Structure 1
Amino acid sequence: MTIDTYRPRRSVLYIPASNDKALTKIASLACDAIIIDLEDAVLPADKAAARDKVAGILVGRERRREMVVRINALASEWGADDLLAVAKAEPDGILLPKIGTPRDILEACDLLDDNFAPDSVKLWAMVETPKALLNIGAIAELGRDPASRLACFVAGTNDLVKATGILATPDRRYLMPWLMQLVLAARAGGLDVIDGVANDFRDLDAFARECAEGAAMGFDGKSLIHPAQIELANRAFSPAPQALAEARAIRDAFARPENAGKGVIALDGRMVERLHLAQAEKLLAKAAIIGA
């Protein structure tokens, strides 16, 4: 994603479509994106009713943040109906669970195209199965083709733990290789990528550490399950004051007349290249968008 199309996705909060109390609070939340969940958080007997509520949640609402809907897997009995009903409400994104191959993205895209969904309806993809991780490079490559609608990956860490049988440790040591693989693939495909949830929403210290870790790994934001997590995620995935100060110093140094046309300069005892200038300008632009 280029800075021209950048949208902050620091904090991405799941809200069950069946939770009326939580849905009424959407306007007051400071998160960058909300995922209305029709899948895991909704019992089978309630799925049709939850789907019918989506239009009322989205239509006519002021879009101060991205609104995304997680549908049921297309292979399930609810998936296709979910996709078509949700698309009519024109959310910013539709989150596809249980993807495994590029074909899962393309099938959803074909359904949207065949039913004249506007191009503004993007696809997000949950990466939560071993098969998805094994195919992640090919899936991410779809991000280079705007016609695929693919815009963002979301790590489904709980499902990965369940599917593989690894031990879920506080430091996520056994998940780490797969999370880094996911970030790498996302960057290769020009996609955003969101870290998985932290299950104990009461332990905010542990959550803050996990956010810092996710930001250091290159994630764009964090999946949230409780509003109490929003502020910490926003802080962790925003440019740090020190990083902004360094970016301004690099920008100002290259702007000096004596450095015009130079590819490499010395700044505070270190070598700085124009690639660092590009990184600095991108960081400053992101900070300006977040501030706005």
Structure 2
Amino acid sequence: MTTAALAPRTALFLPASNSRAIAKARELGADMVILDLEDAVKPEDKDAARAAAVEAVAEGFGKRVSAIRINGFDAPEHAADVAAVATSRADYAVLPKAESAQEIARLTQALRKPLLAMIETPRGVLAAPDIAALEGVMGLIAGTNDLAATLHLPPSSGREAMNLALQTIVLASRSGNAWALDGVFNRLDDPDGLEWECLAGRGLGFDGKTLIHPNQIAIAARAFSPTQAEITEARALVDAATGGAERFRDRMIETMHVERAKNLLAHTGPYGSANAG
């Protein structure tokens, strides 16, 4: 799907059953808040969480955009989740374990919301290009925890063991003009590890990162924002370009380099104000 809005640098998952966390999220700097009805909610709390999520998005999160992660196709709560999200004021819906473009095409029609599809299985990775190309799909999210499990990676494996799958998700997103959001980082007391993983994700081409704790927001936002050196270079390139192939400093540039620099500069401001334009 062709996207118009800027991709979020930071997307914070919150259990929809946690009212205190939802209230606090309205004061945080995350670009997107994702209220979770799936893994983070106990089975006996699913109905109450669904109602709470609808109420929360109706109240809004200020400049932050909102999303609701529904339960998957095989869950007993799926139909009720779809019906509730379709009539809610959520900006986006999130689908876990996306694997079938045909099923997702029907789902987007029912949801009437732009969809973020989580790629969490080998089948999902292989179907990612078709999923990202669907009208109604705004982006793909790498579900790295489930992906590591379904790939049968040993616990000792590093992130590099998933690089092929991660790069495939990015390639699929770009082929469909969709967002690409990296998976969560589990170690809450390892800010250096989080920063490394964010920079590695940006290096692969991801637009932003999904998060599970407020303390991760600032690190991820900084890592997925252009550096001052990149901003300075991009501004100079745009100012110097006169059209066609030409020399800029120590290299040759053409229209593609100018457009890339302009795209980088579009991501220099706060997400909310940039997105609003």
TM-score by length of 1: 0.88
Per-residue Cα deviation, 1:156-205 (whole angstroms, up to 9, x for no partner): 01001111211345741111110001000100000001100110011011
- Closer/same/farther in 2, CA of residues 168 and 264 from structure 1, 3 Å limit: farther
Does structure 2 conserve the Cα–Cα contact (< 8 Å) formed by 1:99 and 1:127? yes
The AA in structure 1 aligned to 2:59 is G
d(CA) in 2 for partners of 1:252 and 1:141?
34
Task: Please identify the structure whose Cα radius of gyration is greater.
Answer: 1
Does structure 2 conserve the Cα–Cα contact (< 8 Å) formed by 1:13 and 1:34? yes
Partner residue in 2 for 1:145: none
Task: Write the mapping of 1:39-188 to structure 2, written as runs, cut at 5 A.
Answer: 39-112=38-111, 117=112, 121-142=113-134, 148-169=135-156, 171-188=158-175
- Closer/same/farther in 2, CA of residues 225 and 288 from structure 1, 3 Å limit: closer
d(CA) in 1 for partners of 2:131 and 2:2?
19
| SS at 2:253 equivalent | strand
| Aligned structure 1 segments of 4 or more residues deviating by more than 3 angstroms | 168-171, 288-292
Deviation for aligned residue 1:8: 4.0
- Percent of aligned pairs with the same residue? 38
Does structure 1 conserve the Cα–Cα contact (< 8 Å) formed by 2:94 and 2:115? yes
Per-residue Cα deviation, 1:121-159 (whole angstroms, up to 9, x for no partner): 2111010011111211221221xxxxx311011110100
Per-residue Cα deviation, 1:49-100 (whole angstroms, up to 9, x for no partner): 1112122111132541110000101221100110111221121101011211
| SS at 1:199 equivalent | coil
| SS at 2:232 equivalent | helix
Partner residue in 1 for 2:264: 283
Per-residue Cα deviation, 1:195-245 (whole angstroms, up to 9, x for no partner): 001100110110000000001111010110100000011101111111111
d(CA) in 2 for partners of 1:289 and 1:203?
26
d(CA) in 1 for partners of 2:2 and 2:98?
25
Does structure 2 conserve the Cα–Cα contact (< 8 Å) formed by 1:6 and 1:286? no
Q: How many residues align?
A: 273
d(CA) in 1 for partners of 2:157 and 2:220?
18
Partner residue in 1 for 2:27: 28
The AA in structure 1 aligned to 2:56 is I
| SS at 1:193 equivalent | strand
- Closer/same/farther in 2, CA of residues 126 and 276 from structure 1, 3 Å limit: same
- What is the root-mean-square deviation in Å for CA atoms of aligned residues? 1.8
- Closer/same/farther in 2, CA of residues 136 and 53 from structure 1, 3 Å limit: same
Q: Aligned pair 1:245/2:244, yes or no? A: no
TM-score by length of 2: 0.93
Structure 2 residues not aligned, in runs of 5+: none
The AA in structure 1 aligned to 2:263 is K
Deviation for aligned residue 1:21: 1.8
d(CA) in 1 for partners of 2:59 and 2:191?
34
